[in-house]
Amino acid sequence: MTEQSEQLQLAEQVLDLVRAEAGGPIEAAVSVDHQALALTRFANSYIHQNVADATTKVRLLIHADGRTAAGSTTRTSSDGLQGLVSRTVAASRVAPRDPGWPGLAPAEPLAGSGNLDDTTMGATPADRAGRIRSFVDAAGGLEVAGYCRTLHWMGAFANTAGQAVTGATTDAAMDGIARLRSADGVFDGVARLAAVSLSDVDGAVLGARAAAKARAGNDPVELPPGRYEVVLEPAAVADVLQNFAIFGFNGKAYAERRSFAVLGEDQLDPLITLIDDPLNPGDLGLPFDGEGTPTGRHILVDAGRTNSVTFDRRTAAQAGEGAQSTGHYGAAEARFGPCATSMRIETEATGPVSEVDGPVLDSAAAELVANVMRGVLVSDFWYTRVLDPKSLVITGLTRNGVWLIEHGEVTRPLTNFRFTQAYPAALAPGRVLGVGARPTPQPNGWGAARWTAPALHLASWNFTGGASG
């Protein structure tokens, strides 16, 4: 019996316990998630932490007599499972009425089983340390810091409506900075990459890229605040996609009219097509969500036209008009709403995603820079916060490299900016002047998600001041 089969058997065991405990009609769903996460961190060019954690969590959802209750446990012994069932059934008897109960996911086949890689599953601390060693060496003496991580997820789901599915996936990522200290200050460069296979994460390539950016940031000048034409590199574009996922295309925000999304309207530039597809080769690979709904290719924006938002079963019922779950329920974020987890900007991908072609840019971003008479090249955003969720006005800072572009060439490093910008307005019709041909999968800092982002050439970005104000 495989480990996934054992997890499904565990889920069905819990359902049997629920039926015995309830003693009457009941709807129940059980998810079993096993996550093995290993993380090797480095700072000051030395590894300072290596941790690993493997946890199996069982979640139970019960709906009976118009009331809904949920519980979870990491104790998978008979006593642990019985305790989960007993307290959840008891909670369902005193829970408030749930008039918005959307029902259980019906039995439905999956579109795939996940994206699994043996290299990542079998990765050792030495495998991660070797990539960090390569990153340090490629930085050529600069101080470096960051992490290399591997993740193996296996899951099973079963409910009393007959849905019973299993899946597994792997994820690997590296995120590092190189730091140059000079008489002019401290300057950082960043390089990030996510992949299904750890073998696709090349520490030497990433270290060389981060170091090149750090060195190119020395002796910066200050540019006055204002609206500038920009080229955003993939790390910065990933922040745009993350905020789109959380606040823009979130089905709960849409149902509550807190989102900018208007279905059927041309809200973004025709060059922008946004796809969420966990099963795309090289992506996260989660084959079903926490409600047992299959995942798959989901078009959010088609050539600028808003096509859909992400729903779980409850938010789809709230939205009405024939809306259905798109397979985006996440137990940890259930109260916040369903979010895309594998969003990417569709583009013509050519060549290796992290190739180092010059001191600052890869060739895909350089092609965009060549079309800018005067503007700003931005490597990364950080500390971004929402000022107005409806129009998705964001304030934040640039970091890890920002440069002046003149006559199609990167000419001078700049000091960091603060910006205040409505993200949808920056990508509105006529505002996207170019999309890079080489998207880069970016690791995510919150939960299981990935953003595959090319560089973008935008007509305007609103820089409101320096980093200090």
One domain, residues 203 and 237: no
Q: Is residue 102 part of a domain?
A: yes
Same domain as 206, residue 235: no
Q: What's the rounded Cα separation, in Å, for the pair 278 and 290? A: 14
152 & 233 share domain: no
Q: Which residues of the chain have pLDDT under 50?
A: 350-356
95: containing domain: 3-216
Picking from 196, 216, 236, the residue at the C-terminal end of a domain is 216
Answer yes or no: is 247 within a domain. Answer: yes
Domain membership of residue 417 (yes or no) is yes
Both 186 and 266 in a single domain?
no
Domain presence at residue 250 = yes
In a domain, 361, yes or no: yes
The vertex-458 CA angle with 452 and 461, nearest 5°, equals 105
Position 383 in a domain: yes
Q: Are residues 234 and 212 in the same domain?
A: no
Tell which residue, 200, 353, 192, 339, has the closest CA to residue 278.
339
Instruction: Name, in order, each residue with C-beta under 8 angstroms of 145's C-beta and a sequence gap of 6 or more.
Output: 42, 43, 44, 45, 176, 177, 179
Residues 174 and 241 in one domain: no
Residues 233 and 143 in one domain: no
Provide the domain count of the chain. Answer: 2
Q: Do 151 and 202 share a domain, yes or no?
A: yes
The domain boundary residue, chosen from 191, 216, 241: 216
pLDDT at position 461 is 98
CATH code for the domain of 147: 3.30.2290.10
Whether residues 338 and 433 fall in one domain:
yes
In a domain, 166, yes or no: yes
Rounded Cα gap, residues 82 and 221, in angstroms: 65
Identify the pLDDT of residue 360.
64
216, 243, 277 — which closes off a domain? 216
| The pLDDT of residue 24 | 81
CA distances from 328 to 30, 123, 290, 359 (A): 17, 29, 8, 40
Interval 79-116: pLDDT, tens: 999 999 999 999 999 999 999 999 999 999 999 989 99
Residues 132 and 85 in one domain: yes
b/e map 82-101, b = 16+ CB within 10 Å: eebbeebbeebeebeeeeee
Q: Is residue 221 part of a domain?
A: no
- pLDDT at residue 353, as a whole number: 45
Examine the domain organization and report whether 304 and 376 are in the same domain.
yes
From CA 417, how far away is CA 119, in angstroms rounded?
Answer: 41
Pair 171, 300 in one domain:
no
Q: Which pLDDT belongs to residue 4?
A: 82
